[in-house]
Amino acid sequence: MASTLLIDVGNTTVDFRVSNNINQEIVKLERIWTKDESKQNETFLKEIFKNGFEKIIFSSVVPNWSQLIYKVTKELEIPTLEVKNSFSHDCDDFKNISLEKLGSDFIANYYGVVKNLKLSDCVVVSMGTATTIFKIEKHKFQGTIIAAGLKIALESLVKNAALLSGQEFNFSNALYGQDTKTAIEIGSINGHFEMIKGLINNFKLGPDVPIIITGGNAHVLYDQFRGQNYQIIEELIFLGLQWLSSQKNDK
């Protein structure tokens, strides 16, 4: 089967997915922890790459992983392209924002909504290691907000509390807590949701502007995002990588 391997290297996980070059279906292959030393090696990558992909497209915010991917694919002679370094990007699309300082995940998500989903105006909320919010207006990337990710903030709060370690925290329907766990849920998870809503409200969007939710932590607030002007598109960054895979490599 003619296919392209898409890789999203984030600070928390490395996600491998396969794009069928004929019907454009994207299939999950494997997802690992970024800092898993048992997987961050040539042997593991060669096992992943052995399926005979036509090419590999990847986004990475972790230099060590980028170097490893390039090293292994060069040895295996697999054409490999990275979001920032393998393509020329129209700076006008990013409204004079320095692409050198913009993470490749932002660029891939931008192409996911503008080129693949054909949206001209939207807000994208990516809930990963960090929670980022960026606005697109008339196909242009306007700018972004970066906050500590939901799980990072929560773990920072409870890491020194022995009685709370190992507990699962979820969105709470209570207005305030009458025990520590519920109080933390309201402050951390409910508070994160309210932060996202408040920051987006500051954009003063029109009623029909979609808000796209993506990232590995989006599922924590899935029920809260439902029924409002939100769309959860978990594979958004891969839609951007998929679109790039169809473009000419001109660098």
3-54 tens-digit pLDDT: 999 999 999 899 999 999 888 899 999 999 999 999 999 999 999 998 889 9
Cα–Cα distance between 69 and 237 in angstroms, integer? 18
Beta bridge partners of 148: 130
Task: Tell me if residue 28 falls in helix, strand or coil.
Answer: strand
45-49: long-range contacts at Cβ-Cβ below 8 A with a sequence spacing of 24 or more? 45/69, 45/72, 46/72, 46/76, 48/5, 48/16, 49/5, 49/73, 49/76, 49/78
Count of all residues that appear for the chain in the document: 251
Query: What backbone torsions phi and psi does residue 91 show, to the nearest 5 degrees?
Result: -60, -25
Q: Which residue has the tokens 């807590």?
A: 177
pLDDT band at 227 (very low <50, low <70, confident <90, very high): low
Q: Output the average pLDDT for the chain.
A: 90
Q: What is the DSSP string of 49-95?
A: HTTT-SEEEEEES-HHHHHHHHHHHHHHT--EEETTTSS---GGGGT
How many CB atoms are located within 10 Å of the residue 158 CB? Answer: 18
pLDDT band at 162 (very low <50, low <70, confident <90, very high): low
- The residues, ordered by sequence, that sit 6+ positions from 135 with a Cβ below 8 Å of its Cβ are 122, 123, 141, 142, 143, 144, 203
Percent of residues, the chain, with pLDDT higher than 90 = 63
Strand order of the sheet with strand 230-232? 140-148, 130-137, 122-127, 211-214, 230-232
Domains and CATH numbers, the chain: 1-117+236-251 (3.30.420.40), 120-232 (3.30.420.40)
**pTM of this prediction?**
0.90
- The residues, ordered by sequence, that sit 6+ positions from 217 with a Cβ below 8 Å of its Cβ are 127, 128, 131, 149, 150, 151
Here the tokens at position 180 are 């520590």
pLDDT band at 167 (very low <50, low <70, confident <90, very high): confident
Percent of residues, the chain, with pLDDT higher than 70 = 95
Q: Which residue has the tokens 């025990």?
A: 179
Cα–Cα distance between 98 and 18 in angstroms, integer? 30
pLDDT of residue 206: 84
